[in-house]
Structure 1
Amino acid sequence: MMELRHLRYFRAVAEELHFGRAAERLHIAQPPLSQQIRHLEEELGVTLFVRSTRRVELTPAGQAYLERVEAILDAVDVAGLQAQRVAEGRQGTLAIGCVGSATYSLLPRLVRALRQDLPELDVSVRGEMLAPAQLSALISGQIDLALLRPPVGGAEVVVETIRRDRLFVALPEGDQRCAGESVDIDELRDAEFVTHAGQGRSVMNGILASICAAAGFVPQIRHEVAETSTLVTLVAAGLGVAIVPEPTAALGVAGVRYLPLIPGAPTVELAVARPAGVPSPMIEQVLTVLRRVAADDH
């Protein structure tokens, strides 16, 4: 029965055109090599080599066979390397979901780092996803990793905090509160807010309510939006103020001023969530890169 080793034996002899040199290259004795080539010819029913005491030459049939054998062996070698890269987590397809503020700061740096460290990874991203939508996509397998704001619950996922972001106030340029270096929460009692969607659809909406409640007032919400880019655009248009994570400033919308929120310099976590269970080698590789990029980002 023909095996891959027979094809490798044949290619070595065809390339060396010398049984002795081919045997040395294959680290086998010459007589068994000659015997295997004869068995191959018998199985194929063709003569692959013309042998003489002084030289070995490929027959036309042997030359045609060599072209096919080289393609087969090259494909086998490539398949083996690909399997190794997949097993090591260096090749595959990865989908990442990302909360709005990190979409414009951490995510671009992460994708660049993945392209450099894991160039054979096919990465797709879904930015501007609120936490509940990310969790749903993660559990259903639509995304492999979620970058979101805790709290995140459920036995279906594993959550790891990768950094903490300061909370800032986004103000329209020219707002009287832009005159200082920070904004006290008490200065926002009479402000109209632009915020992310409420009713449990956005962590930041809950954070806004908690911060204002701790200061003794209920925020006046003028607009609720689904995307951070829309939120900042409405602030720039003078339709309200917003409490946002510091990285939101990376969005770079003209007409908006970002100032730290006080007192207490409150912060909000950014976490990565993945499906529960032992992570795949690919996920482990990506998490290593993500942790480094998140640490460098601060």
Structure 2
Amino acid sequence: MELRHLRYFRVVAEELHFRRAAERLHIAQPPLSAQIRQLEEELGVQLLKRSTRRVELTPAGVVYLERVREILDAVDAAGDQALRVAEGSQGSLSIGCVGSATYSLFPRLVRALRDEMPGVDLSIRGEMLAPDQLAAVEAGQIDLALLRPPIASSRVVLETMRRDRLIALLPDSHRLADRAELDIADLRDDDFVAHAGRGRSVMSGLVTGMCADAGFVPRIRHEVAETSTLVTLVAAGLGVAVVPEPTAALDIAGVCYRPLTPEVGADLAAAWIPGSSPLVV
């Protein structure tokens, strides 16, 4: 038995006329009659009563038609769903994001994806350090990473989305809080709260490099993985920090943000493995 037998039977059962069914199927009538007889022989059941004037369904044929419609509808639906997944209009998509972009980018991104791809099931993982995102992409745990380069992987495609200015984050009671802008050298005597170092965070390397260019080594008292925790510790007066400008979207009382001069930026990039998901191209 093949799917064409079921399709042929459904059309004959709906038309109750072999000639009209053959025309609808674009085949000759004799082969159609032969296919229906073959189906009945395989089932061992008469599905149709035939006479010179009419064709009728047997009781077994009525029941069989109901199940055939269910089967063929399910097959057609499966094909349609596979096509939608292949085209990127349905399926699941898992996205990771660095902390500073979580608050500024994710709300707009999720709304846009919901509007453009309502059939896609989204899974969001915010506050992920770049090395953790890279490992998750390579392990197939997330489909798309929104991180700060550089990264070391020949398998991953990287596309820059934007460049974020780095700014100073101070407790609102800080001695320099009334300044309109700061030089990184102004913070040489402060304790720093920083993202996790020793290669675990791109931001940690950027801040260390900025301080080195200004002639000092930052006195890092606290290291954290989450941007929200970093801002909270600064609000508590435990140090100052350098963060990407979108961090200001995280509205926590007790802090202020000030531009740094000379201006330094950090890229935000999308990273993925080609072919890993039809939703990421």
TM-score after normalising by structure 1: 0.86
Which of 262, 269, 272 is the equivalent residue of 1:271? 269
Residue type of the alignment partner of 2:280:
V
Q: Which runs of 5+ in 2 are unaligned?
A: none
What is aligned with 1:76?
Answer: 75
Matched residue, 1:63: 62
SS at match of 1:271: strand
Alignment of 1:207-286 (within 5 A): 207-263=206-262, 265-275=263-273, 278-280=274-276, 282=278, 285-286=279-280
Alpha-carbon shift at residue 105 of structure 1 (Å): 1.8
TM-superposed deviation, 1:281: 5.7
Distance 2:59 2:196 in 1: 74
Q: Which amino acid aligns with 1:96?
A: I
> Is the contact between residue 88 and residue 281 of structure 1 (CA under 8 Å) also seen in structure 2?
no
2:169 alignment counterpart: 170
Distance in 1 between residues matched to 2:17 and 2:97, nearest whole Å: 61
How many residues are treated as equivalent by the alignment? 281
C-alpha contact 2:144 2:280 (8 A) present in aligned 1? no
C-alpha distance 93-174 of structure 1, shift in aligned 2 (>3 A): same
Residues 39, 156 of structure 1: alpha-carbon distance in 2 compared, 3 angstrom cutoff: closer
Contact 1:114 / 1:286 at 8 angstroms: preserved in 2? no
1:112-261 aligned at under 5 Å gives the runs: 112-261=111-260
Give per-residue Cα distances to partners, 1:16-44, cap 9 Å, x unaligned: 23333322322223343233223322332
User: Whole-Å Cα distance in 2 between the matches of residues 140 and 82 of structure 1?
Assistant: 26
Aligned 8 A contact 1:173 1:255 in 2: yes
Say whether the 8 Å CA contact 1:50–1:59 is kept in structure 2.
yes
Distance of 1:86 and 1:65 partners within structure 2: 31
Q: CA deviation at 1:127?
A: 1.6
1:252 partner letter? D
Residues of 2 paired with 1:225 and 1:156: CA distance? Answer: 29
Mean Cα deviation higher: 157-166 or 85-94: 85-94
Alpha-carbon contact 1:17-1:57 (below 8 Å) kept: yes
CA distance in 2, matches of 1:156, 1:3: 42
Offset, 1:196: 0.8
Aligned partner of residue 124 in structure 2, secondary structure: strand
Name which of structure 1's ranges 30-39 and 57-66 shifts more when overlaid on structure 2.
30-39
Aligned partner of 1:291 in structure 2 is none
Q: 1:148 to 1:281 in 2, by over 3 A?
A: closer
SS in 1 for 2:176: helix
Query: 1:194-222 CA distances to partner (integer Å, 9 max, x unpaired)?
Result: 11111111111111111111112222222
CA offsets 1:250-273 (integer angstroms, 9 cap, x no match): 22212222222112x211011122
Amino acid at match of 2:109: L
Q: Which moved more, 1:46-55 or 1:92-101?
A: 46-55
SS in 2 for 1:11: helix
Distance in 1 (CA, whole Å) between partners of 2:18 and 2:182 is 84
Which amino acid in the other structure matches residue 269 of structure 2?
A: A
Question: C-alpha separation between the residues in 2 aligned to 1:206 and 1:239?
Answer: 21
The residue identity in structure 1 corresponding to 2:247 is T
Q: In the TM superposition, what are the counterparts of 1:20-39 in structure 2 within 5 Å?
A: 20-39=19-38
Aligned identity (percent) is 70
AA at the equivalent of 1:286: V
Greater CA deviation, 117-126 or 204-213? 117-126
Instruction: Say whether residues 1:15 and 2:11 are aligned partners.
Output: no
Q: CA RMSD in A?
A: 2.1
How far apart, CA to CA, are the structure 2 residues paired with 1:56 and 1:181? 90
Which runs of at least 4 in structure 1 moved beyond 6 Å after TM superposition? none
Amino acid at match of 2:184: I
In the alignment, the residues of structure 1 paired with residue 280 and residue 142 of structure 2 have an alpha-carbon distance, to the nearest angstrom, of: 14
Report the Cα offset of residue 53 of structure 1: 4.6
Which is further off, 15-24 or 58-67? 15-24
